[in-house]
Amino acid sequence: MFDKILIANRGEIACRVIRTARKLGIRTVAVYSDADTNALHVTMADEAVRIGAAPSKESYLLSDNVLEAAKKTGAQAVHPGYGFLSENAEFSAACKANDIVFIGPPVGAIEAMGSKSAAKTIMEKAGVPLVPGYHGDDQSPVILKQHADDMGYPVLLKATAGGGGKGMRQVWSSDEFDEALEAAKRESLSSFGDNRMLVEKYLTQPRHVEIQVFCDQAGNGVYLFERDCSIQRRHQKVIEEAPAPGMKDSVRAAMGDAALLAAKAINYEGAGTVEFLLDKDDTFYFMEMNTRLQVEHPVTEMITGQDLVEWQLRVAAGQDLPLSQDQLQINGHAFEARIYAEDPDNDFLPVTGTLSYLQPPEESAHVRVDTGVLQGDEVSIYYDPMIAKLIVWDENRDRALARLAQALSEYRISGMTTNVEFLYNLATTEPFRKADLDTGFIDKHSKLIFHKSQTEINRSLPLAALYLTLKRKQDAAALACQTADPYSPWDNTNGWRSCGANIHDYSLLINDSEITVALEESATGSFTLSARDASELGMRISGTLEGDELHADIDGHRVRANIVAHDGIYSLFTQDAALQFGLIEPDYGDLDDGGAAGFTAPMTGTIVALPVEAGSSVKKDQAIVIMEAMKMEHTIRAPADGTVVEFYFQPGDLVDGGAELVNFEAADSDS
């Protein structure tokens, strides 16, 4: 076994590898960019080496810098994690040339599966069924479009060297093809340094099921069953589970055998994942093979009781597989939910900011949290906005799903918008409970997932009002201690006024709606709630505030909540839900007469293309500015017919979120 390994990655996967290495007595070396100087994976490792500037192209993707760090520290092997250099054949070859073990498959296997088109050719020869499509070498736009037209729409454009939804576009009509192709190629080139594409027929209601395979250097191979990864947005997985619900033993065996056939066809070693599309009639089609550990590998670990990173290390060190196929079995059910800094209500746009408050659910035999961040850390523009992976396990799917819902309700994050509420709503829908899954699940059930419950708001209103009142009293009491006159009326905190009841008034902004709340304070210090637009009026409320923890009594119902303030926004967490609210200050008018018409950047990022020239006339929905941020491309389109008067930034410029990008004049002054 190795004495020391270097982890050529960051974030939660780097921390994950460090934990297993430490368990095995292996010392670890972390690498880091300028943006990750104080990152968790850096502090966890035994050693750490700076490899470059914040952008991944100037640090984590520089193979020479990573290799130099390995040689400098005497690391015997490199674990690439996933993403970055994990499926880079040149990096694997360079490791071998420097007598450093690459903890992954041989160069030939990476090359064979690194091109989706080449992989499909191998699978076709092996007799694995393929989705109809074009995987040829001729990459001219005319040829690609002709094959798409011949197949019939919708089609799917995919980067041959891609993964994780990068360089991928759905195309629903011939008119959309050219723009989608340009965007997919541009994103693929940025992410993988390769803009070759393939075109496939897009199946509208498939399930995405993948098989975890493992092979050793002696030629032994096993599959560790399947994962259902059908719940996706932007072709990126959101919630994964193992085993796939409703999977017949015969189908599982057939898919497992096909996956092993694929692995052995390229003399595979280590951990790999063979991905399939599974149709309703149990027919399945090969999609691709990922020659690395997958983000969702923990659900496989939970149902098999195996540490897949330990398996990777043992196989890379020349040891045989720990178990044979007949020794592996499925135990229970597991889910993984990816916690992201993103805004589900704004097309899942990634967000940046500081994790001002971070309290994950308590870990146990049923709950696991894989993360690479701590409270106070920043989610930057440079990397994927994943905060953590929440993994749960129980004896069957229903019980595991209950665990997932409970853990999500206990996951508390403040300082930025996250997808936690979205995940909770998704996991508690009836179609998800019934395992009515396909890759279009989120769009199909959007009304169930993106609901705004008035009941939840009404339940939270008394807590929000009580918190603001008790906090106001605490702050006033602290100031009163500093005054010379303890009886000054300016230090009174009971809402007293010269005529009428003692009232505390608040205007709250909840879910884009303004709600006026009033608490009438009694002589005993309890309150009566009245609220416009709320159904529950006249409630008797009392409670105490200790730090951020509120203990409330609402008409005899005792409730505990945590409330955290950040930049004028309050995050309220209860056992049942999470809610954000703001306190609306009086409006003294807008002293700014406004600026020129234009568009603002939705988030901090880099301008990658300007599809039109300044002075051009454009049609409604035509692309005007294309930005890249947090490994994703965002297109800003014309809201109406008009003229692009001026661009304020050029390709390559880094712009702040909210910055004005373009001066646009609508053709119709009423637009």
Taking the C-alpha atoms of residue 136 and residue 669, their distance in angstroms, rounded to an integer, is 49
Neighbours of 34 (CB within 10 A): 14
Beta bridge partners of 558: 553
Taking the C-alpha atoms of residue 553 and residue 214, their distance in angstroms, rounded to an integer, is 55
196 secondary structure, DSSP code:
-
Beta bridge partners of 226: 211
Taking the C-alpha atoms of residue 423 and residue 399, their distance in angstroms, rounded to an integer, is 17
Beta bridge partners of 519: 504, 529
Taking the C-alpha atoms of residue 336 and residue 295, their distance in angstroms, rounded to an integer, is 10
| Residue found by looking up tokens 């100087």 in the block | 37
The Cβ-side half-sphere exposure at 663, using a 13 Å CA radius, reads: 8
Taking the C-alpha atoms of residue 399 and residue 381, their distance in angstroms, rounded to an integer, is 37
Instruction: For residue 540, indicate whether it is catalytic.
Output: no
**Angle, vertex CA 306, rays to CA 300 and CA 311, nearest 5:** 105
Q: Are 509 and 519 in contact (CB under 8 A)?
A: no
Beta strands in 555-653 (DSSP E): 557-566, 569-573, 578-583, 599-600, 605-609, 617-618, 623-629, 632-637, 642-647
Taking the C-alpha atoms of residue 216 and residue 480, their distance in angstroms, rounded to an integer, is 72
Structure token digits, residue 87: 């499926």
Taking the C-alpha atoms of residue 285 and residue 255, their distance in angstroms, rounded to an integer, is 9
The Cβ-side half-sphere exposure at 625, using a 13 Å CA radius, reads: 29
Structure token digits, residue 622: 């035509």
Taking the C-alpha atoms of residue 173 and residue 572, their distance in angstroms, rounded to an integer, is 45
670 secondary structure, DSSP code:
T
Q: What is the CA radius of gyration of the chain?
A: 28
Neighbours of 450 (CB within 10 A): 14
Q: Are 659 and 600 in contact (CB under 8 A)?
A: yes
Residue closest to 35 by CA, chosen among 60, 70, 8, 6 = 60
Q: Are 649 and 624 in contact (CB under 8 A)?
A: no
| Residue found by looking up tokens 């996250």 in the block | 418
Taking the C-alpha atoms of residue 97 and residue 100, their distance in angstroms, rounded to an integer, is 7
β-pairing verdict for 605-609 and 540-546? unpaired
Taking the C-alpha atoms of residue 658 and residue 602, their distance in angstroms, rounded to an integer, is 6
Residue closest to 300 by CA, chosen among 271, 267, 280 = 271
Beta bridge partners of 270: 215
Beta bridge partners of 273: 212, 290
Structure token digits, residue 457: 């708001």
Q: Cα 385 to the chain's mean position, in Å?
A: 6
Give the max Cα distance, the chain.
Answer: 90
Which of 292, 368, 403, 459 is the catalytic position? Answer: 292
Residues catalogued as catalytic: 292
